[in-house]
């Protein structure tokens, strides 16, 4: 897969389509093209393969609209980040506005034993509409007290901490976890060497 899926909610995985979110100049956007948005939706189960093919064909025909929709998805992603991690009322209002647009483009239908939104058109707006509806659903989860951000100083990836003791510190223990443990080890070794040097000089 092209994208990370470690957060415990696919909409939090969307938030993680920024690498090194807190890293200043190291920050890297993963949704750089409309095709990236389509691929993320496909990996996350928001669209099917036939929809993905149709959307890519439409993007080839209307690149300007496709780019605007990519920007809309990125903006919505940043809105929900500000809502969840900064309690930003303005971002919440903006996200609500996008939500009203997304439900206006769909019908509430009963399928497979549950009620769900069904988009009326397979057009370039479809990924954004489904994403926005998913982001609003994310904000209404009952377990957001488990929401956590990787404790690496620059990573910024987010996840639901489902560990029994709620003590998960890293987005990925073999990535940020190993890097930070290694950094801490070398910092301790450096401190010991400095203490020995200071002891000899005293």
Can you tell me whether residue 28 is helix, strand or coil? strand
- Tokens matching residue 91: 């971002």
Distance between CA atoms of residues 59 and 165, nearest Å: 46
**Phi, psi of 144, deg, nearest 5:** -70, -10
HSE-CB at 183 with a 13 A cutoff on CA atoms is 8
Ranges of H-type helices in the chain: 10-15, 34-44, 49-61, 63-86, 89-104, 126-139, 178-201
- For the chain, what are the domain ranges? 10-161
Residues 171 and 16 sit within 8 Å (Cβ to Cβ) = yes
Report the CATH fold assignment for 10-161: Jann2411-like fold (1.10.3300)
Tens-digit pLDDT string for the chain (202 aa): 999 999 999 999 999 999 999 998 999 999 999 999 999 999 999 999 999 999 999 999 999 999 999 999 999 999 999 999 999 999 999 999 999 999 999 999 998 899 999 999 999 999 999 999 999 999 999 999 999 999 999 999 999 999 999 999 999 877 695 565 655 444 455 555 556 665 666 6
Residue that the structure tokens 């029994």 belong to: 164
- H-run or E-run covering 107: strand 106-111
């Amino acid at each position: 897969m092209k994208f990370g899926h470690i957060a415990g909610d696919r909409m939090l995985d969307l938030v993680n389509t920024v690498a090194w979110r807190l890293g200043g100049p190291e920050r890297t956007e993963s949704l750089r093209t409309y095709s990236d948005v389509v691929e993320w939706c496909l990996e996350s189960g928001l669209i099917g393969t036939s929809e993905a093919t149709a959307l890519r064909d439409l993007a080839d025909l209307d690149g300007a609209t496709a780019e605007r929709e990519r920007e809309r998805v990125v903006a919505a992603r940043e809105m929900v980040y500000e809502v969840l991690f900064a309690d930003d009322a303005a971002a919440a209002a903006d996200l609500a506005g996008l939500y009203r647009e997304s439900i206006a483009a769909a019908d509430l239908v009963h399928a497979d034993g549950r009620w769900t939104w069904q988009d009326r058109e397979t057009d370039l707006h479809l990924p954004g509409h489904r994403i926005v509806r998913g982001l609003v659903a994310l904000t209404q989860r009952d377990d957001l007290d488990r929401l956590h951000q990787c404790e690496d100083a620059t990573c910024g990836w987010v996840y639901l901490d489902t560990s029994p003791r709620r003590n998960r510190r890293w987005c990925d223990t073999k990535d940020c976890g190993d890097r930070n443990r290694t950094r801490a080890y070398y910092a301790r070794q450096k401190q010991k060497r400095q203490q020995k040097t200071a002891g000899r000089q005293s």
